[in-house]
């Protein structure tokens, strides 16, 4: 069984796409449709890496990212942000909260996801 990758996205097609690509490359994909389900699966499955969409129900991807980085059990899990928001000068401002010591995400992937780029980033972060 390959390393576990949690995919948190409210679009089932995105979960299916990423799951298929990751499974074909030997990883074990796990899907979640919102931040609440995502946090439950993080605790239960202990993934090696998380692909996290920003625009998801419940606390949203930003809220979930902050929760992950404030928790001693999960703060070291690499997180790749998956978003339709172009990474520009203001994207980091959206992710960070002033006055909080939260590291930047380990990577960014813009939607629509490119399979090769996603696999390279996942592989680089897990090697």
Mean pLDDT of the residues in the chain: 90
Percent of the chain with pLDDT over 70: 88
Query: Per-residue pLDDT tens for 75-117?
Result: 999 999 998 776 554 555 555 555 567 888 999 998 899 999 9
pLDDT of residue 2: 92
Q: For residue 116, how far is the Cα from the chain centroid?
A: 17
φ and ψ of 37, to 5 deg: -65, -40
Helices (H), the chain: 12-24, 35-45, 60-70, 91-95, 115-126
pLDDT of residue 45: 97
Q: Is the peptide bond before 112 cis (omega within 30 degrees of 0)?
A: yes
Report which of 60, 102, 109 is spatially closest to residue 80, judged by C-alpha positions. 109
34-48, 87-101, 113-127: which has the minimum mean pLDDT? 87-101
How far CA 48 is from CA of 9, 10, 92, in Å, comes to 17, 21, 23
Provide the whole-model pTM. 0.91
């Amino acid at each position: 069984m390959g390393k576990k990758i949690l995919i948190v996205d409210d679009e089932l097609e995105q979960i299916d796409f990423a799951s298929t690509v990751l499974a074909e490359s030997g990883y074990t994909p796990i899907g979640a449709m919102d931040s609440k389900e995502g946090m439950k699966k993080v605790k239960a499955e202990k993934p090696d890496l998380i692909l996290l969409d920003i625009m998801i129900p419940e606390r949203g991807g930003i809220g979930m990212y902050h929760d992950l980085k404030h928790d001693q059990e999960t703060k070291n899990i690499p997180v790749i942000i998956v978003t339709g928001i172009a990474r520009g000068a203001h994207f980091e401002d959206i992710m960070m909260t002033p006055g909080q010591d939260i590291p930047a995400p380990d990577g960014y992937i813009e939607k629509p996801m490119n399979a090769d780029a996603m696999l390279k980033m996942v592989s680089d972060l897990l090697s």
